[in-house]
Homo-oligomer: A and B are copies of this chain.
Amino acid sequence: MAKITAVSPLAPAAFPALPVIDGVHFATASAGVKYQGRTDVMMALLAPGSVVAGAFTRSATRSAPVLDCQSKMGLVSDAGAVIVVNSGNSNAFTGKGGVHAVEAITAATAQACGVPQSRVFTSSTGVIGEPLAHDRIVAVLETLAQDLVPEGIAAAAKAIMTTDTFPKGSSATVEIGGKTVSIAGIAKGSGMIAPDMATMLVYIFTDAQIDQAALQSLVSEANEQTFNCITVDSDTSTSDSLIVAATGTSGIAVGRHDGFAAALHRVMRDLAHQVVRDGEGATKFVEITVTGAASDKDAKVHALSIANSPLVKTAIAGEDPNWGRIVMAVGKSGAAADRDTLGIHFGDVEVAKDGWRSTGYSEEAAAAHMKGENIVIGVDIGIGKGRATVWTCDLTHGYIAINADYRS
């Protein structure tokens, strides 16, 4: 485990004040799964009738808890529900022992909280391939169930951290028919971040009233443009989980066009950005927008090729407006491109146009943009109308230091 010695320079000033979501209670505990002297398990109890939607890693080697959650998605129930998350061990690639661990935790949680086992969702994050000491988690479940409070979301955000340097939270409120619907979410993740999705756990809660299929649809759509558009190191985790729970306790029915979907999207995008801002070793937050591609899909392929290129990412770390590496990344992506229609911007600075360095290009102006903390790269492929935006960070000595030491 890398030492958490400093907070990312791209971190927000402070953890935000999140609204209390009626119908959700939180508790945390120090189970000693791996870490000592800190909390490492969080529980969230959802009121009876809550609706749960989600999105999960597409890894072919996904973990036992992910498979268990996926099997439970879409079930409609009037019972309560529980989310239990541990940090320190991902219970991934742990064979039958991993399945047994999930069974033990979900069964004990169901008993401690009085909900059906089919309504218990678990996530595990941390080292891959080590047996999960599930008995340590089971041992704290009764205490967690007794400690549940409505205001515990900030503590929950801390308990799920691994190599994160700051806890991540975001919220939104929407006025619908004179009443307020609230959304509050937390996330963890800083390395092994790439579509689809990331070593990332995200839990979002709302008091909105919405049916499961409708919520799932909104979550899946927003996921494609938020969590599936970020990358730190192109490495896809075996454990990524996004769970969105709607308690319905506000009594306000929401839908696609009343502002709720947009607010949920904003919360998801904000949390996705925070994960990138905590990218291992990150010193720059990078937004890459590709336009003029043959299709939106091609635009995303180009954008991710740029975002994942070690040469582009090291150039950004070195504050070098090395646009040749952007050309290289577009060329290798596999999506359609024409060298002679390509245009590139760094911030507002036009670097290249129609496949050649722009007349009047100012290396000084481009270099000045690269010195900032927020880097904006625009690439126009010049052959169609497809577009996509993705977010990433630079590749620095910090990434190497964290990952060459991680694990012991």
Contacts and interface: CB of A to CB of B under 8 A. Distances in A.
Interface of A: 57, 59-62, 90, 92-97, 127-130, 191-192, 194, 233-238, 308-311, 314-315, 317-318, 320, 322-325, 327-333, 336-340, 342, 352, 354-357, 395-397, 399-401, 403-408
A60 B294 CA distance: 14
Contacts of A395: 310, 400
Nearest to A403: B314
Contacts of A322: 406-407
B356 A324 contact: no
Nearest to A90: B324
A229 to B, nearest CB: 16
Given A60-B333, A93-B352, A315-B407, 16 more contacts: A57-B331, A59-B331, A60-B330, A61-B342, A93-B355, A95-B354, A191-B311, A235-B309, A235-B325, A235-B328, A238-B327, A310-B395, A314-B403, A315-B403, A315-B406, A397-B401
Contacts of A235: 309-311, 325, 328-329, 332
5 contacts: A60-B337, A233-B311, A236-B331, A320-B408, A396-B400
A62 B328 CA distance: 8
A342 B60 CA distance: 11
Given A93-B339, A236-B332, A331-B61, A403 B311 contact: yes
B238 A328 contact: yes
B404 A317 contact: yes
A191 to B, nearest CB: 7
B327 A129 contact: yes
B407 A320 contact: yes
A328 B95 contact: no
Contacts of A397: 397, 400-401
A314 B342 CA distance: 34
A325 B328 CA distance: 27
Contacts of A94: 356
A12 B90 CA distance: 42
Contacts of A325: 128, 235
A356 B96 CA distance: 8
Contacts of A127: 324
A61 B330 contact: yes
B403 A310 contact: yes
B194 A332 contact: yes
A357 to B, nearest CB: 6
Given A328-B192, A356-B93, A400 B60 contact: no
A352 B61 contact: no
